[in-house]
Every structure is written in C-alpha cells, then in structure tokens.
Amino acid sequence: MARLQLTPLSPVLGAEVRGVNLAEGVDDATFAEIHEAWLRHGVLFFKDQPAPMSEAVQTAFARRFGDLHVHPAAPGSGEGDAIFVIHCHRDSKVANGNGWHSDVSCEAEPPMGTMLQLRQLPSCGGDTMFASMEAAYAVLSEEEQAFLQGLSAWHTSEHIYRGRYEDRGVEDAGKVYPKAAHPVVRTHPETGRPSLYINRAFTTAIVGMENGEGDALLKRLLRHVERPEFQIRYRWERFDTAFWDNRCLQHYALWDYWPEERLGHRVTVGGDVPFFDPSAPAPAPSPLRMATPRLRPA
C-alpha cells in the first residue's frame, strides 16, 4: 500500500514527498518506497515536517542508504562527526555550496547521497538549485557521447578547502586535501543510467588534456550542464528535508539573504569509485530522458 504522496517538481528531476514524519523514524516498507522514488527522481524533499529530526534519527535514516561519510574539511559533530552543520550568518565569509557542485567529488569515493534538514531560514531567499546530469548527457549527440565516454577529469579541492573553515576553528596547516580522476561519463551503480560527471567547483582539468584544448572542452561542458532545462530551484520551508543523489545531480545553494541566517544539519552517505560501464544496457526510458529529447547542447 502506498504510504507516500509524491509530487514531481519537473519532468526532469525532483519530487516533494508527503505522508511521512521523519522525526518518528521510517519503517522498512516506507523506506523501500522512498528508495525507489529517490532513484527515480534524483532528489526528494520531505514536506510538512512538524519538528526537526534528532541527530540520532537523522543519522539512522541516512544509514539505511549506506555507511556515513565524514567531510574531509568541515568540522563534524554528532555520531562519529557525521553531522555537518550548514550555517551562514552576518559574519560568514563564505557560504557552503554557493556554486554548482556534486558533493566532495574530489574524493576517490565521493559520497553517494546528501541529506539536509533546514532548521532556520531567512525571511526569504536561501533556495537551493539542483540539476540533472542524466538529462545533460541524454541531449548530447551520439558522437559526442561516444567521445566523452573515453575521457576522465581531475577533481581537486585544495583551492576550495584551504582555510575555508578557519572561522570554525579548523587549523589545516600541513593537511593534504583530496584529488581524484573520475570518468567524465559516469554509470549510476544502481540504475545503470549514464550521466555527465563534471562540476564547476571541483573539476579543474581533463586528464591528458591539461592544455588549451582541454580547458575549452571543459568550459563548454560546464556551460552545457548548467542549462536551465536540467534544473529545479527549491524554495525551502522550515524542517523540510532534502535527500539528493550526488552520482547523477549537482546543486547550488544560493547566498542571497545576507545578513540573515540560515542553518541546517547535513549528513552524507558514502559512495563508491565512479566508473563508466560500456556494457551497461541502454537505459530504460525514464522521465529524465523523455523530457529533453529535442534539446541541443547550449
């Protein structure tokens, strides 16, 4: 019996979920429905949450998807440092996630999913944008898809993380921040669907093309993946909880509300080494592919 009410936010990605109070915990049957809906829509937004999840409940819910991941730079709290408090206020120098990215894609095994519950919101603003990298891949020509399938790109983080959390007491002298090469076209390990796996924050070069030609290709791809048709813009309500799939989406948290404050608790779920599987069966028609067949790369 269906427990969840799902409202898609676009034909391409994202759905609101009603009918589950996360603070009370999630039973197995409800979890199975959530998991299936998550793989279908890429990001779910749990609405009408009457109260925040405790740290124990939030980490337990996230752990149903896999082992928890600890951020390589930000200070953690709660169980095993798994809670990353997202907090932006009058004295903040930078805002978390304020640019297109897939979380911590600089790691060899980037986190597969991220769960964020917002506890404090500005009076307006502070939306988060999400973009489907499956849709971005699906609209490329077959020739371009075949060309990109052979490429990898560097995802680095020194330029992002060095000194970033100094104001929260993180001293990082001597620390080495992660860097990894990942396939430009990534096969989703659960759905088998391909997507473009590059993002403006972490992806700094195409492997073997660390030259003008590689820079031009990367610039073109980064412009392409940011096309509005692949996106939604989510307006939060207090205690809304989002869970997004970093393997096929990227996101951008808008910092348009200074000097007001925005605070949430974020937990990430560990992932695997990104791969491209040329033998993966052609994806079954999905909302992501069907919504965009007539678009051409920007």
Q: Which residues of the shown chain bind ligand SIN in the complex (CB under 6 A)?
A: 86, 96-97, 103, 114, 116, 128, 251, 253, 266
Any catalytic annotation for residue 266? Answer: yes
Contacts made by residues 64-67, CB under 8 angstroms, sequence distance 24+: 64/26, 64/31, 65/35, 65/112, 65/113, 65/269, 66/112, 66/113, 66/269, 66/270, 66/271, 67/269, 67/270
Given 69, 101, 155, 193, the catalytic residue = 101
Q: Is 103 a catalytic residue?
A: yes
Q: Which is nearer to ligand SIN, 97 or 183 (CB)?
A: 97
The dihedral of CA 199, 200, 204, 206: what is its sign? positive
CB of 156 to ligand SIN, least distance (A): 17
Q: Which residue is nearest to ligand SIN (CB)?
A: 97
- Minimum distance from CB of 190 to ligand SIN (Å)? 21
Provide φ and ψ at 243, rounded to 5°: -135, 115
251 is catalytic: yes
Q: Are 159 and 251 in contact (CB under 8 A)?
A: no
Closer residue to ligand SIN, CB minimum distance, 103 or 107: 103
Rounded CA gap, 254 and 200, in Å? 15
HSE, side-chain direction, 13 A CA sphere, residue 181: 10
Contact yes or no for 162/177 (Cβ under 8 A):
yes
Q: Is 103 or 134 the residue whose CB approaches ligand SIN more closely?
A: 103
In the set 186, 193, 224, 266, the catalytic residue is 266
Active-site option among 71, 247, 251, 262: 251
**Cβ distance to ligand SIN smaller for residue 216 or 263:** 263
Q: Which of 41, 103, 188, 224 is catalytic?
A: 103
Catalytic residues: 101, 103, 251, 266
